[in-house]
Amino acid sequence: MTQNETIVSLSDLRYVEIHCWCGTKVTLDMEDPPEFGKKHGVFAPQQCPGCRTDYDSAIKPAVDSFQRAYSSLIQLRESITFRGLSNPVTAKQS
């Protein structure tokens, strides 16, 4: 079995997208948070702007934490890469 590896530079990671069950997607710019967020120290919204239901309670703190980590690491953007495994590719057997 062969595994493909995906390598992404930190400089290529800039946006995070939150998906709601209603189909609404919210895209947030980690380098340039919304003015409201800058003013109030928050990044991710609590609820979907489409259907006005609260997101899963784990989403906001996780995305907020990721944005804070991103902000502290972005100065090192040329020195950091993320590596992950793509879907495994299996060889056909004859």
Task: Quick: pLDDT tens for 21-65.
Answer: 999 999 999 888 877 667 777 789 999 999 999 999 999 999 999
**pTM for the whole thing?**
0.71
Determine the Cα–Cα distance for residues 30 and 73; give it in Å rounded to an integer.
11
> Parallel, antiparallel, or unpaired for β 25-29 and 15-19?
antiparallel
**pLDDT at residue 14, rounded to an integer:** 87
In the numeric block, which tokens belong to residue 11?
């400089």
